[in-house]
Structure 1
Amino acid sequence: MKKFTFLLKIAAYTLLCAVFLSFSAYGPTEEEAIYVQQKLYDHYNAEAKGGLIKKYELHVTNTGFCRYKCFLSNGKIEYFSFNFLKYKDIDYSGTLQSGTLILRTKGEDVIVQTYNGGREGDIDSMATFMAIPLKNIEAEELNQLMEKFQQMNLKLRR
């Protein structure tokens, strides 16, 4: 009887652990993705490119993808995407009031697509970086973004 009770307790604890783990099974980079997306939205500079940006979409997923789509007032659409597995480093060019965050990858790992480009037509290519215009960002926030990017890269490698 003691053996049966002991096995029953083990089964109950195992089931309980499985239930708790199933509720915590969100994406490997959920916390970082939410933080990064919110910071980029808070500091996005829509007045960049001479005020040509009409609308933009910026998504950082919990599976490690960063997607940036920019709709210009002349009808042109620019789309950039990369996976944080390929992330290498960031740079920031400009001042604290206005600048460009440059996300660098290990190689030509950024997908670049342009639509409605006029005479050039639609273009698909690859690049080594993605540039996102930002404004009113402090140095400490840039350092935190860099840390979150590195954390996402490490978590995705596991």
Structure 2
Amino acid sequence: MKKFTLNLRICLCALSCVIFTAFSAKVILDEEMAYLQKMLTEHYDSSREEKEIKRYELNVTNSGFCRYKRYFSSGKVEYFSFNLIKFKGLDYQGISDSTETGNLFLRTRGEDVIVQTYNDKIGGDVDSMACFMTIPVKNMKARDLSDLSERLVKMNALLPVQK
């Protein structure tokens, strides 16, 4: 009977550890997504596009998607989206003399970025795929870029565990 009780205790301890680990991965994933959302919206540079762009939406969802939607004054809408599981790396290209203003390139493993254009008077509605998503950013320091890259890689590892 003592052996049965000991085995029962071991199984219950192992089961409780698995349950707590599963919930902690979800909490870590939610924190990472909130941080990524904050970083991208905080550094987004709307001043470079204010004449053309009426408004924009930049979201990192809890299902692991990064979405960027731009609404133009002409009525045209551009939509970019990719699953963070497909994230490969990021690049930054500064504009002009300033390195604090530039474009952030979020690269994927293949053509995994969904690109959709609506209400375009010149080209019509277009659906295509791309290898990267470009986001205009400002006040982006090297430390911010490395932190953003590390967190995207970390999320890339956590997302398959969640599913």
Query: TM-score of the superposition, structure 2-length normalised?
Result: 0.80
- Does residue 74 of structure 1 match 2:74? yes
Structure 2: which 5+ residue stretches go unaligned? none
- Which residue of structure 2 aligns with residue 32 of structure 1? 32
Q: Judge conservation of contact 2:90–2:104 (CA < 8 Å) in 1.
A: yes
- Does residue 153 of structure 1 match 2:156? yes
Q: What are the Cα deviations for residues 110-157 of structure 1, in whole angstroms up to 9, with x where unaligned? A: 000011111211100000000011011211111110011100111123
Q: Do the aligned partners of residues 46 and 121 (structure 1) sit closer, same or farther apart at CA in structure 2, a change above 3 Å counting?
A: same
Deviation at 1:63, TM superposition (A): 2.3
Q: Judge conservation of contact 1:27–1:62 (CA < 8 Å) in 2.
A: no
Aligned 1:7-156 pairs, distance under 5 A: 26=26, 29-49=29-49, 51-94=51-94, 95-156=98-159
Which deviates more, 122-131 or 14-23? Answer: 14-23
Deviation at 1:18, TM superposition (A): 9.2
Paired residue secondary structure (2:111): coil
Distance 1:111 1:21 in 2: 33
Paired residue secondary structure (1:51): coil
Aligned residues: 158
Instruction: Could you list the structure 1 runs, at least 4 aligned residues long, displaced by more than 3 angstroms after superposition.
Output: 12-28
Q: Which amino acid aligns with 1:66?
A: C
Deviation at 1:48, TM superposition (A): 2.5
Structure 1: which 5+ residue stretches go unaligned? none
Q: Do the aligned partners of residues 16 and 88 (structure 1) sit closer, same or farther apart at CA in structure 2, a change above 3 Å counting?
A: closer
Deviation at 1:51, TM superposition (A): 3.2
Deviation at 1:100, TM superposition (A): 0.5
What is the alpha-carbon root mean square deviation over aligned residues? 2.6
Distance 2:149 2:156 in 1: 11
Deviation at 1:15, TM superposition (A): 10
Q: Do the aligned partners of residues 144 and 120 (structure 1) sit closer, same or farther apart at CA in structure 2, a change above 3 Å counting?
A: same
